Amino acid sequence: MKFRNTLGKKCLVVHAHPLPTSFNTALRDAVVESLSLGNREVISIDLYEEGFRPELNTQEKIGHLNSIAKKPLISDHTKKLQWADHLVLVHPTWWGGAPAMLKGWFDRVWVNEVAFTLPPGSANIKGLLSNIRRISVVTTHGSGPFRNRLQGLGSKRTPLRGLRLLCHKRCQTDWLAMYYLDRSDLVRRNEFLERVQKRFS
């Protein structure tokens, strides 16, 4: 899919990797730097660095459909989500899906009155994040694409199908994946870094 520079003026970059020296962190830095050079507003969230709590506790589950006014612990994140028109997720793919830290961010932040609403008497939620017009995913895999397809493409399906339905009806998507990371050399990693830099500039 062609990347349109006319979109994505307010970019929210969400990163989920526990090691600040990882290749994944270098990818996050490349995304943020490239977007910033394009005169875009960029907010970057490092979930591990800030100590984000990913687990949905008992009271949060009971009050899942409560008003957002009753959820002050996530208000900073929900405001950033409602501000952005371009969401960029940077994370490794583990066990065929995104890290638990990022999945917990979906569970706790994409909530009622922010990402969706459930009309009375309906079984289908209605998306509220019409401000988001593009979702991009930058990820790495230790194995190859065939194994990831066998695993069900979890890290791709959730954001580019599930979350996308809650965004603008014409929300576009990007998927940049580096496979066989565990056996890659510096040349291959630099090539992928350059690809990411080019895409987001």
pLDDT-derived band at 71, boundaries 50, 70, 90: confident
Tell me whether residue 2 is in a domain. Answer: no
pLDDT at 64: 81
pLDDT tens digit sequence for 120-151: 877 788 999 999 999 999 999 865 565 666 65
Please tell me what DSSP assigns to residue 41.
E
Count CB atoms within 10 A of the CB of residue 130: 13
Q: For residue 134, what are the β-bridge partners?
A: 86, 172
Contacts within 8 Å (CB) and 24+ apart, 19-27: 20/49, 22/92, 23/140, 23/181, 23/189, 24/90, 24/91, 24/92, 24/140, 26/193, 27/90, 27/138, 27/140, 27/192, 27/193, 27/196
Q: What is the mean pLDDT of residues 166-192?
A: 92
Number of domains within the chain: 1
State the pTM of this model.
Answer: 0.90
Q: Residue 173: which domain range?
A: 10-200
144 occurs within a structural domain = yes
Q: Is residue 5 assigned to a domain?
A: no
The answer to the question of residue 30 being in a domain is yes
Specify if 23 maps to a domain. yes
CATH number, domain of 82, equals 3.40.50.360
154 within domain boundaries: yes
- Label the pairing between strands 41-46 and 10-15: parallel
CA–CA–CA angle 71, 103, 54 (5° rounding) = 50
Task: Determine the pLDDT at residue 37.
Answer: 92
Is 1 inside a domain boundary?
Answer: no
Q: Which residue has the higher pLDDT, 42 or 121?
A: 42
Report yes or no on 3 lying in a domain: no
Of the listed ranges 53-57, 92-96, 180-184, the one predicted with least confidence: 180-184
What does the pLDDT read at residue 3? 45
